Structure 1
Amino acid sequence: MQLVKVGLCAFGMSGKVFHAPFLKEHPGFFMTAVVERTKQESKSKYPVSTIYKSVAEMVQNADIDLVIVNTPVQTHFEYVKMALEAGKNVIVEKPFTVDVSEAETLVKLAKEKNLFLSVYQNRRFDRDYLQVQNMIADGKLGTLKEVEIRFDRFRTEPSTKEHKENPQLKGSGALHDLGSHLIDQATQLFGFPEKLFADVFSMKGSAFANDYFEILLFYKNDLRVRLKSSVFSKEARYAYILHGDNGSLLQERSDNQENELVGGAIPTFNEDWTKPRTEPDGILNYLTENSETERTLTSSQPGNYMNYYQEIYEHIVFRSALPSTGSEIIKNMKIIEAALESSRQGKVVELKDY
């Protein structure tokens, strides 16, 4: 099996939870290098990985084929550019960059260097999203008319992370953070909308970056898709609500991969590794071919973030399709920028201008 040598740009939560465990367990990857500026926490679990004090040092000196940029979003442009100029393929954490201009520059550079650039949209591999995707494909809902996707939390106190909380820093706030997931899911399911209206602000006060957003996406054929997130949501709600002309689907946000990884779970290659659910996580209510109402409790199948890395590996070795290309995610960045503009102006924004 061809071995892909990887360098990890940081060993914080993202590195410990979403990247290093999968690189270790996938037989096609080898985490050759990791950046830790002051600590050596990676040594206990990844003793053969060389620790570098800076991204520049790692990119210039490490024997690596692929760089994973999992640092704060405000540094993404600098580090992705650095890696591409050094001749390395790149995976960059969402939300890619702070704005469309930076994203377009990086996509252009990757093309010039004949390198690939993929954005880590791991929630395409959540069990709940995959269930929604399957239910839409099944056709029981008929023609969709109204969809809501939300990602709520109860975190009323600001975090200590400056890059996420400081409203003066471009790319801070929930819209770039959680919004990048919801927007990606909407565009994957329904494509690029025609226009939008958005409300984006901070419930904790103007001293903090936005922690609330509501975006209404307008599609052809009168489909409306609403994306919403709040940090003042103590009681869980259905994360996906879909209404069509033949039925409705209510789907919980039930994927638990992140929590299990934080708790020390080891992801496995080519098999499910998450704990099985014991209860249904959705409701499907639709009209049968005989126009009778059928209401059933539904159960999603396990998701697996390992599948993202498997798709990366297959692209490297077999030249199969690259997941979440930079050029594809630029469209999501355009929606983020349009949402901020819509909120500032208090009006509908046409996306043909983006």
Structure 2
Amino acid sequence: MANSKQFNVGVVGYGMSAKVFHIPFIQATPSLKLHSILQRSPKPNDSAPADYPGLQHHTSLDSLLADSALDALEAGKHVFCEKPFVPTSAEAAALADLARAKGKLLCVYQNRRWDADFATVSQLLREGTLGRVVEFETHFDRYKMEHPTNWKGTVPMEEGGGAVYDLGTHLCDQVYTLFGLPRSVYAKFVSQRQGKFYPSSDGVDPDSLTAHLYYDNGLTAIVRIGVLSVETQQPRFWIRGSKGSYTKKGLDTQEPQIKAGMAITDAKFGREGPEWAGKLALLGEGNSVSQTDLPNVEPPPTYAKIYEGFAKALASGKEEDVPVPASQACDVLRIIEAVQESGKTGREVQISS
């Protein structure tokens, strides 16, 4: 930590997530200072020291003391950890307890709470535009026949890898943010690439899933991930309520914009074209239905908000200021665990409150 006005930040890893989701936003947050990067094996065409010559650079855990949330907390550091955080809710609860015992702050990077389409959904529900929500459907679909070769495709589901921890964590976190913990979960896993339901006799891990999250008020939240979806505009949200419905296609624009070289200070950052506007259908007199285009909220939120929130928490020292506290990540992992158990056993799994 540098001084009362600015906090030093060390980034562990120098892959796509660090380059796209973290470093640009750290640099754009006035009270944060990018101080050091740990990259185990810099290469001529992929080198943090070459890209950021003015920083401190490390190639080993011991020199930075921040390779994991546990080690960083034990070393007296505040921690901002990538999702899915840890594989189990028990580990998440233990880290939350350790952070409190050490007097340190622990935040989990659930950045898609700051997607523009999710902010639009949140506003619709907060204002009651759709009435009582009876079905909430959320998708991460794409066409990707190639099996990933990074941790998403090589780390088994039991150890925190695969579709449920990669994309499922985002979807379950968004549902949890809106509605809290469900009463129960029923889920089916499948490997769409190989045409096999999970669990299969040859131990193939799933790449896709459908999970139903049931709430006491009659709401069903449906979480879907598919890798063989041939669409020009992939589905994202379909929400139905007593007064109306909302549908949205396409993923948030921030990731592709940064990958394409757009600065996060650009006036177009986080904004999408009119062809991607959601559709809002509302019930009128005599049960008539009218439909209009509904663009995302303005100004759109960006992933800078989670860093701004964490910087505020660092300044105040208060856990309640942390934008995504470990306790919430723990609850999301409870949902993920129920999804896994249901997918393995074929039964509906209860979640205790």
Q: TM-score, normalised by structure 2?
A: 0.89
Q: How does 1:220-259 map to 2 (within 5 A)?
A: 220-235=216-231, 236-259=233-256
Structure 1 residue runs without a partner (length 5+): 60-66, 70-78
What one-letter code is carried by the residue in structure 2 that aligns with 1:33? S
How far apart are the structure 2 equivalents of 1:306 and 1:218?
Answer: 32
Question: Would you say 1:316 and 2:324 are equivalent positions?
Answer: no
Change (3 A) 1:194 1:17: same
Contact 1:163 1:169 in 2 (8 A): no
- Greater Cα offset, 44-53 or 152-161: 44-53
Partner of 1:31: 34
What one-letter code is carried by the residue in structure 2 that aligns with 1:190? F
Partner of 1:214: 210
Partner of 2:48: 42
Partner of 1:103: 92
CA drift of 1:23 comes to: 1.2
Partner of 2:291: 295
What one-letter code is carried by the residue in structure 2 that aligns with 1:238? P
Partner of 2:274: 278
What one-letter code is carried by the residue in structure 1 that aligns with 2:333? M
- Greater Cα offset, 189-198 or 48-57: 48-57
Partner of 1:174: 163
Structure 2 residue runs without a partner (length 5+): 195-201
SS in 2 for 1:192: coil
Partner of 1:72: none
CA drift of 1:45 comes to: 3.7
What one-letter code is carried by the residue in structure 1 that aligns with 2:213? L
Q: 1:305 aligns with which of 299, 303, 306?
A: 303
SS in 2 for 1:226: strand
Change (3 A) 1:275 1:233: same
Contact 1:280 1:300 in 2 (8 A): no
How far apart are the structure 1 equivalents of 2:71 and 2:272?
Answer: 42
- Greater Cα offset, 207-216 or 148-157: 207-216
Contact 2:152 2:166 in 1 (8 A): no
User: 1:135-171 deviations in whole A, cap 9, x for unaligned?
Assistant: 1122121111111111111111111114533437611
The percentage of aligned residue pairs carrying the same residue is 31
How far apart are the structure 2 equivalents of 1:312 and 1:243?
Answer: 34
SS in 1 for 2:257: helix
Contact 1:280 1:298 in 2 (8 A): no
How many residues matched?
A: 335
How far apart are the structure 1 equivalents of 2:262 and 2:61?
Answer: 28
Partner of 2:13: 10
Structure showing greater relative contact order (alpha-carbon pairs closer than 8 Å, 6 or more residues apart): 2
What one-letter code is carried by the residue in structure 2 that aligns with 1:132? V
The alignment's C-alpha RMSD in Å is 2.1
Contact 1:240 1:250 in 2 (8 A): yes
What one-letter code is carried by the residue in structure 1 that aligns with 2:283? L
How far apart are the structure 1 equivalents of 2:186 and 2:158?
Answer: 23
What one-letter code is carried by the residue in structure 1 that aligns with 2:59? K
